[in-house]
């Protein structure tokens, strides 16, 4: 009798759905989107030097990379659900700390939010690989981008406007959004993931799984796509606002440009249709080639700052095409037995790009103006275009084609049109 009075959803946790993961990504997009254009301005205003800003981003990227790679080792001692929860709380704390607006607190706030992002990202990808079938990965990627669209479209412009009105506002919104993200996670009742067994031996070296990664060329190629795509976003998000300020344009231009670019997230279903009609390889090569061309055009000495902004905005459209398609070569190649470890490897693209981009920019800015960073970013994207020629022409074809008819059981939300990086493809 007592058992009948307990609601079914309390006695048996429902199977996590594509929509559930997309909602979780959507709340993260609000937290990160509201700050993504604010932090570069706050950093530049506090430090007054683009080279120093690059140095700080470079150092924080190194720290975040190490933390991300240690997450699989850490969850041997701390349950995955607690690691995810700690990540959301770190994000909230970092956002609030940055409101003090001093160089030290801004740097500390950026460090906390960056480490928090990679912590939750590793866990998120592990949960995705636990609960979402491979035939649904393309749908998840597109649904994730759709649900994230509002945060990434409105957030950057709203963030810089609120920052000019009341410096605390965007950071306070981000802190609240990260708490909502935690509540959403708890509502989904993901626990510690599937296939959890009691550990009977000490955990191995946290970096031992690197040998498995380097033994699989498809994983290496997919990871490189994620790194270079993320580098493109780093150039766009961090150096476009600084370029605008240095060339006498509005401080708000960077946030507005990013919001307009992110509106293309709502075209994700059309991009998926293009990928299904052509192939993953064609979509990836198109994205890298066009974004590379437009980034190089932005960096050429034409003396018209607004032309550079327009070229970068057009290039960002193709970066979104890469958000839809360029993560699939890696995700389709991951073995079920290596979910958590390879999720940590995959998530490192965000931190590697966070090291590589400011590191290269640091060197470029020693000998060239900031427009040189755009050319360097374009060169990296061209390299990825050449690398993508090695993808199999029918990579993922059968999985994507059947996506429209293969649904998760009893989940009507899967009828919605179908991680980027690192975002999941975002920088």
CATH number of residue 98's parent domain: 1.20.1250.20
| DSSP three-state, residue 221 | helix
Domain with 281 in it: 15-193+210-409
List of residues 6+ apart from 284 with CB closer than 8 A: 225, 322, 325, 326, 329, 388, 391
Q: Would you tell me how many other CB atoms lie within 10 Å of the CB of residue 402?
A: 10
Q: Work out how many domains the chain is built from and give that number.
A: 1
User: Which of the two residues, 190 and 229, has the higher pLDDT score?
Assistant: 229
**152 occurs within a structural domain:** yes
User: Which of the two residues, 19 and 312, has the higher pLDDT score?
Assistant: 312
The 10s digit of each residue's pLDDT in 370-379 is: 889 999 999 9
**167 occurs within a structural domain:** yes
**426 occurs within a structural domain:** no
Q: Quick one: pLDDT at residue 1?
A: 47
What is the spatial distance between Cα 385 and Cα 314, in angstroms, rounded to a whole number? 17
Looking at residue 388, the DSSP 8-state letter turns out to be: G
**204 occurs within a structural domain:** no
Please report which confidence band the pLDDT of residue 133 belongs to, taking 50, 70 and 90 as the band edges: low
**217 occurs within a structural domain:** yes
**359 occurs within a structural domain:** yes
**423 occurs within a structural domain:** no
Q: Global pTM?
A: 0.71
**422 occurs within a structural domain:** no
Please check the confidence at residue 198 and state whether its pLDDT lies above 50: no
Looking at residue 238, the DSSP 8-state letter turns out to be: I
Nearest to 325 by CA among 200, 225, 182, 190: 225
189 Ramachandran zone, left/alpha/beta (phi>0; psi -120 to 50): left
Nearest to 177 by CA among 25, 26, 30, 21: 30
Token pair for residue 95?
Answer: 């956002």
| DSSP three-state, residue 165 | helix
Q: Quick one: pLDDT at residue 293?
A: 96
What is the spatial distance between Cα 296 and Cα 285, in angstroms, rounded to a whole number? 17
Q: Quick one: pLDDT at residue 262?
A: 79
List of residues 6+ apart from 103 with CB closer than 8 A: 46, 47
User: If residue 259 lies in a helix (H) or strand (E), which one and from where to where?
Assistant: helix 253-262
């Amino acid at each position: 009798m007592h058992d009948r009075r307990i609601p079914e959803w309390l006695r048996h946790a429902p199977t996590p759905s594509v929509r559930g993961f997309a909602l979780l990504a959507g709340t993260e997009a609000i937290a990160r989107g509201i700050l993504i254009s604010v932090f570069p301005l706050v950093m530049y205003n506090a430090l007054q030097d683009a080279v120093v800003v690059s140095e700080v981003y470079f150092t924080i990227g190194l720290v975040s990379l190490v933390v991300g790679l240690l997450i699989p080792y850490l969850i041997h001692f701390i349950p995955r659900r607690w690691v995810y929860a700690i990540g959301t709380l770190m994000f909230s704390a970092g956002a609030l700390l940055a409101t003090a607006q001093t160089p030290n607190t801004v740097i500390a706030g950026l460090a906390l939010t960056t480490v928090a992002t990679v912590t939750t990202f590793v866990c998120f990808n592990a949960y995705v690989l636990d609960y979402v079938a491979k035939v649904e990965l393309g749908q998840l990627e597109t649904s994730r981008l759709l649900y994230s669209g509002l945060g990434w479209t409105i957030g950057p412009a709203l963030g810089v406007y609120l920052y000019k009105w009341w410096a605390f506002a965007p950071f306070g919104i981000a802190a609240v959004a990260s708490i909502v993200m935690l509540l959403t996670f708890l509502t989904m009742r993901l626990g510690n993931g599937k296939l959890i067994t009691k550990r009977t031996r000490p955990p191995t070296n946290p970096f031992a799984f690197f040998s498995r990664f380097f033994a699989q060329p498809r994983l290496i190629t997919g990871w490189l796509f994620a790194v270079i795509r993320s580098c493109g976003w780093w150039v766009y998000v961090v150096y476009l606002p600084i370029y605008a300020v240095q060339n006498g344009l509005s401080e708000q231009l960077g946030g507005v440009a990013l919001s307009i670019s992110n509106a293309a997230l709502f075209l994700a279903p059309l991009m998926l249709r293009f990928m299904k009609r052509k192939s993953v390889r064609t979509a990836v090569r198109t994205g890298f080639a066009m974004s590379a061309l437009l980034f190089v055009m932005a960096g050429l000495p034409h003396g018209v700052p607004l032309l550079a902004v327009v070229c970068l905005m057009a290039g960002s459209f193709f970066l979104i095409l890469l958000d839809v398609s360029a993560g699939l070569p890696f995700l389709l190649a991951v073995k079920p037995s290596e979910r958590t470890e390879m999720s940590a490897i995959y998530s490192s693209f965000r931190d590697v790009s966070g090291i590589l981009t400011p590191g290269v920019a640091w060197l470029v800015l020693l000998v060239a103006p900031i427009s040189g960073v755009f050319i360097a970013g374009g060169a990296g994207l061209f390299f990825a275009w050449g690398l993508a020629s090695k993808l199999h022409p029918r990579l993922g074809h059968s999985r994507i084609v059947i996506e429209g008819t293969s649904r998760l059981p009893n989940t009507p939300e899967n009828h919605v049109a179908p991680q980027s990086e690192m975002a999941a493809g975002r920088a």
